[in-house]
Amino acid sequence: MKKAIVLLLALSCVGISLQAEEGMWLLDQLQRLDLAKKGFDITAAEIYTPDKPSLVNCLVLGFGGTSEIVSPNGLVLTNHHVAFGAVQRASTKGVDLITNGFLANDLSEEIEAPGYSAEVFQYMKDVTDQFTRFHRIRDLVKRHKAIRRHQQRMKEDIEKGHGDLTARIASMYEGGKYYLFVHKRYDDVRVVYVPPQAIGNYGGDVDNWMWPRHTGDFSFMRIYSAPDGSGRKYHKDNIPLKTGNWIRLSRSHLKEGDQTFILGYPGSTTRYRTSHAVDENLNHNYPDRIKLFQEVITLLESFEKDSLIAKMKVAGMIKGLNNVMKNYQGKIADMKRIDFLARKRQQEKELAAFINKDQKRQARYGNILDRIGALYAQKAETRDYEDAFMLSRMLGGTLLGLGTQVYNLAEERAKPEKERNPSFSEKEIERSVSRLHFMLMSYYEPSDKALLTLALEKAAALPRGNRIRGLESVLDKGKEGINAFVEQAYKETRLKDVEFVKSLFARGMTAAKLKALNDPFINLAADLYPESEALRIRNEKFNAEISQLRKQYIEVLADWKGGMLYPDANRTLRFTYGKVAGYKARDAVYYKPFTTLAGVIEKHTGKAPFDAPDTLQALYQARDFGRWQDPVLGNVPVAFIHGCDITGGNSGSPVLNARGEMIGIAFDGNWEAMNGDWQYDNEKQRTISVDIRYVLFVTEKIGKAAHILKELGF
């Protein structure tokens, strides 16, 4: 207990010593950031006050990124690439909304965003005191499971009787603290305006992660509620969400040196990991995934020529894989550029010297790095097998995924309650069932077959003594046998029928009943289940042990470095700030902080991804910039860079000025600082955001959507 209290003090109660613009801060840390001294007019209390409507209550979690409410009628701004899944699914019916974009001229024309839900932030609370008793459990696996089970119970207790509330208890500092986050969920989200792809994704994968950038990465959507304000599924009687709390858009011009801040939901960072984790990712995980993703992308692209519908169905997966692949490529390049692994090892030598200076510290932390290294070495012994097994699950296609989901669920239900996965929830199962038809909207059988075939071929390439036993009946027949199995499986399965699949989730559906159906994908899932369980148990043990060691590592880091530490990103609401500023990219190259419409035209080639629409070119030639022209730049600003600290999940986050007015939408990081998930670089790391003036310019001049500008107050 004393050790836990010491850790909480180290994480919460000392002065700030980090670089000025580094940090993904929790909301209850805002008061200690002294915003007034940093040039803010808005106060910490205006951004977040518990039990009182404030700026954070305009934030929306969902769509794979972050969004924000910008009108009293539930109008939402987010990125084009965050809304991409909605228009991709809507386009599978044969109308290409990706290329052409979409505009609803009034509420009656707004279309459903298939599979999208919006979770509007309500409140957060430090609940660490409810978890301190679990430190008495000496067995780390039992402790880990007990904590997860308690998290699930707390979640269910809060959600009980509130059909539209979602709760999450998030661990910070590897279990050093715990926070409750509550959101209100709306399952009716509709598309309002999505610009053409030649604006919303201008530059495509070529420009992805790069500056200077000229992408109009934005879309408008709308949240709908039941007439009483509660959240419910798409319904003809639903109305636009009525709210007295929304983010106002700035009417001022932005300039270099202006202070900015971002509120959003960053996904995952690894700032407090050791050299062992760096080595594992730099030399194994990242290069292996890059090679695999390139192979899968090439495979999926071969189906784009089949038809417009085929192209729409594979578009989302191609876009996602390309994004992650380039991210990994950038991480490797940046790590090698600064010799990050050597830096980490040197830092750990210095930390070890600090530990050894004090007898008590030495007794508690003396072998911490060696113990972490031993766990990674142990995990490396089964790396190839685990990668192949996860590949069969991750890229085995939609139908194998469904078969695995229903079979594993039946096995989990059959266990005594105390032995079940602590995250098991009948409510989440019901939610998954309600979303099944969205999953099958992107199902394209030829590409699905090809993915499963690739996964099986990868598994067959494993050494004989390291093969996946559950696949042996298929793999032993060689390449021809694999092809024959795939063809027969897709011919015989009933998992393409949504209503049939829904029936398999029923509580009375046992593993034995599922096997009796003799569905090839369910049979394959049953064959894989014993190894899946063994792998789960092994990873459960690793996660429990490594989490405890990482918590101690963070504890001694806080002692060594001093200062208030922000926790690693974990998809919870954070605050980050930084000024509009350029940066030195490399020797003799300095990047200015703004791009303009002139740069869009300079890049135009007439071919994707640099195919600026004729209407946009005509506006530029006529210098028809209207009220959106910057007086200093003499042009329409497109994007800007600033020193905020973000990562994946922040896409779509509102960028606000010192007064709390929206000046842009965050959508990317920069290539020269791709190692940002591991270490913040104050000199080079920048957030790339689309300028709100370009959003409004395109909406008015290209979209001809005067009604949207009117709703925004212009």
The set of catalytic residues is 81, 217, 651
Dist CA 318 CA 106 (whole Å): 32
Shortest CA distance to 255 belongs to which of 584, 661, 630, 599? Answer: 630
The angle at the Cα of 576, spanning 669 to 182, to the nearest 5 degrees, equals 110
Whether the CB-CB separation of 519 and 492 falls below 8 Å is answered with yes
The answer to whether the bond into 520 is cis (omega within 30° of 0) is no
In SS3 terms, 253-278 reads as CCCCCCEEEEEECCCCCCCCCCHHHH
Which tokens is 225 given? 């509620």
Site of tokens 């034995």: 512
Which tokens is 658 given? 């010192």
Query: Residue 76's beta-bridge partner residues?
Result: 69, 221
**Beta-carbon contacts of residue 50 (< 8 Å; ≥ 6 apart):** 123, 124, 125
**Beta-carbon contacts of residue 425 (< 8 Å; ≥ 6 apart):** 152, 155, 156
E strands, 517-621, are 574-579, 583-586, 589-591, 594-596
φ, ψ dihedrals at 5, nearest 5°:
-65, -40
Whether the CB-CB separation of 643 and 687 falls below 8 Å is answered with yes
Dist CA 282 CA 334 (whole Å): 10
Which tokens is 36 given? 């007034």
Whether the CB-CB separation of 687 and 180 falls below 8 Å is answered with no
Whether the CB-CB separation of 251 and 217 falls below 8 Å is answered with no
